[in-house]
Structure 1
Amino acid sequence: MLMLPRKQAHLKQGGPERHQRRLVYVVLTLMTGYFAMIGSLNVFLFHAYPTAALDYIGGIGSGLFLRYFYQSQNLRIASMGVVAILIAVMLVFVHIADGRAYSLIWITLVPPITFFLLGRRMGACVTGGVFLYIIAFVYLRLPQWQPIEVGLGTLLNIIEVFIAHLLLFQLYERSRSEAFAELEHLSETDKLTGLVNRSRLDVILSDELLQHERSGRPLALILSDVDHFKRINDEHGHLIGDDILKGIADFLFAQCRQSDTCGRWGGEEFLIICPDTAVEEAIMLVERIQQACHAQKFINDIQVSLSFGVAVHTAGTDADQLLQRADYALYEAKRQGRDRYVIAQDTSSD
């Protein structure tokens, strides 16, 4: 059964900015801990005190920016701070190491972080500037370089850079997947009520009809309309009308069974797709919804009634014909006085 749970309709807000904020938090946290750990290794293992001092400065700077970001939530300043600290520490490290190969490998972290945090245009400018600086530095220092042996420090630097890349791109891929899922969900969700929208209902109905044709299981549609909704808007205003629609959406979803799909068909109309449901079961569901609606008070204690058109799939009927039958039945229910349901005729000759 293809359906979106109603309770998943209310997504956290924030979109791409939320993912970028999380990226800044994670990068600042990793940088703070990483600089502290590497600084300690340089002190106790390699006795490289200048490099250790640089690491500790980077850790303190990252910690200060992490605290600032937590308090101010200024994403732009925090992002620029991450990039500035990272580039400054890397370039000073390159100079301390005299530009040897194991120090230059850290520059590979600049493009992913700058592009993730500063965007495509600014990231390209910053990355280009750093790369030009490194190229000029290597060109000037190349004649003076002497070969050195590859030791434990070199191997640790390479491993550390590989781990940093792995963490960064895992975080990026997770953020990208979540952003895509949010975008896909938003494209299938009615913004006002949080129910699935008409486009998604069309897809679900088509899938259910295909399954019905293969298995022969019954399938029912319940098309509902809010009675005298224009009067509610005129008497109470459109904002109250919107709140009424949201309340009805929550009410209908709560009344539906777990296998049903309830969505907003348009305006004040709602569609319930009921798989494995014969006409008798559909009538029981509609009557239960009606009874509950009579006892339900919506915002400002406004009493609302609903009219229903019920159609059950028959052989040779496609989605448009089934919906048309439900719509005709709903029209007949409203013509007969509203606050009632009408069962569409069981015929495939519409």
Structure 2
Amino acid sequence: MFDIDNFKQINDTWGHKEGDNVIQEISRLLRRVADETGVSGVDAAGFNMTDFEGMCAKEYELHGGDSLQPVPVILNVKSPIGRWGGEEFMVLLQDSSLKTAIDFADRVRVAFNDITFEKAGRRSVSAGVIELRKGESADAAIVRVDKALYRAKKNGKNCVVVSEGENDG
């Protein structure tokens, strides 16, 4: 799970149009890194992908009434990337090791740091990473990854935190 750091500040300082630009850019970046690394959606044995399908947030709209070009908002086997909330994105990786997921998240984080936005300048993103457990419900997995993301924010942002322990959720 990815979350754009200090996103409210972007909207409050430079307006929702700049915030929309940042959201569109991370969406493009996530798709590009997924394409470059060859990751695909999750459909692992013992994990019910249908629990996740359709759980993403609705399309984001500009406050001026203009609709944005929609970003992927539905997680499914064909599209492992989905918009989870206002500035949160979820990526589900199939047949990937925990190390691959960590490397993917860090690659996105570093690449996002290199982008310079017209008004907002350089920004950062935090990520929480988990490995799905056999038989784990979508709700339990989401709680664990959300806790990992929260720890990334608490640890100063612009980092990737992994949730591996049995007591994480």
TM over 0.5: yes
Written as runs of structure 1 = structure 2, the 5 A alignment for 1:151-170 is none
Q: Which residue does 1:230 correspond to in 2?
A: 8
Superposed CA deviations along residues 219-265 of structure 1, whole A, max 9, x for unmatched, are xxxx0000000111111011111121111111111111351411100
Whole-angstrom distance in 2 between the partners of 1:334 and 1:290:
13
1:253 to 31, 34, 38: 31
Letter in 2 for 1:246: Q
What is the DSSP-based 3-state SS (H/G/I as helix, E as strand, rest coil) of the residue aligned with 2:92? strand
What is the DSSP-based 3-state SS (H/G/I as helix, E as strand, rest coil) of the residue aligned with 2:156? coil
- Structure 1 residues 349 and 248, CA gap change in structure 2 (3 angstroms): closer
TM-score computed with the length of structure 2 as normaliser: 0.70
Q: Any conservation in 2 of the 1:307–1:333 contact (CA below 8 Å)?
A: yes
Q: Which residue does 1:317 correspond to in 2?
A: 136
Q: Which residue does 1:262 correspond to in 2?
A: 81
- Cα drift, residue 312 of structure 1: 0.5
Whole-angstrom distance in 2 between the partners of 1:234 and 1:276:
40
Q: Which residue does 1:338 correspond to in 2?
A: 157
- Structure 1 residues 349 and 253, CA gap change in structure 2 (3 angstroms): closer
Whole-angstrom distance in 1 between the partners of 2:159 and 2:140:
22
Q: Any conservation in 1 of the 2:10–2:120 contact (CA below 8 Å)?
A: no
Whole-angstrom distance in 2 between the partners of 1:249 and 1:315:
29
Q: Which residue does 2:90 correspond to in 1?
A: 271
Letter in 1 for 2:142: L
What is the DSSP-based 3-state SS (H/G/I as helix, E as strand, rest coil) of the residue aligned with 2:83? strand
Whole-angstrom distance in 1 between the partners of 2:102 and 2:28:
21
- Cα drift, residue 349 of structure 1: 7.5
Written as runs of structure 1 = structure 2, the 5 A alignment for 1:167-246 is 223-246=1-24
- Cα drift, residue 340 of structure 1: 0.4
Letter in 1 for 2:15: G
Whole-angstrom distance in 1 between the partners of 2:16 and 2:133:
39
Letter in 1 for 2:24: K
Letter in 2 for 1:267: G
- Structure 1 residues 328 and 280, CA gap change in structure 2 (3 angstroms): same
What is the DSSP-based 3-state SS (H/G/I as helix, E as strand, rest coil) of the residue aligned with 2:29? helix
Q: Which residue does 2:123 correspond to in 1?
A: 304
Point out where structure 2 has 5 or more consecutive residues left out of the alignment.
42-79
Q: Any conservation in 2 of the 1:226–1:306 contact (CA below 8 Å)?
A: yes
**C-alpha RMSD over aligned residues:** 1.8
What is the DSSP-based 3-state SS (H/G/I as helix, E as strand, rest coil) of the residue aligned with 1:287? helix
TM-score computed with the length of structure 1 as normaliser: 0.35
- Structure 1 residues 267 and 349, CA gap change in structure 2 (3 angstroms): closer
Point out where structure 1 has 5 or more consecutive residues left out of the alignment.
1-222
- Number of residues paired by the alignment? 128
Whole-angstrom distance in 1 between the partners of 2:33 and 2:168:
32
Q: Any conservation in 1 of the 2:128–2:146 contact (CA below 8 Å)?
A: yes
What is the DSSP-based 3-state SS (H/G/I as helix, E as strand, rest coil) of the residue aligned with 1:275? coil
- Cα drift, residue 346 of structure 1: 3.7
What is the DSSP-based 3-state SS (H/G/I as helix, E as strand, rest coil) of the residue aligned with 1:274? coil
Structure (1 or 2) with the larger CA radius of gyration: 1
Q: Which residue does 2:109 correspond to in 1?
A: 290
- Structure 1 residues 258 and 275, CA gap change in structure 2 (3 angstroms): closer
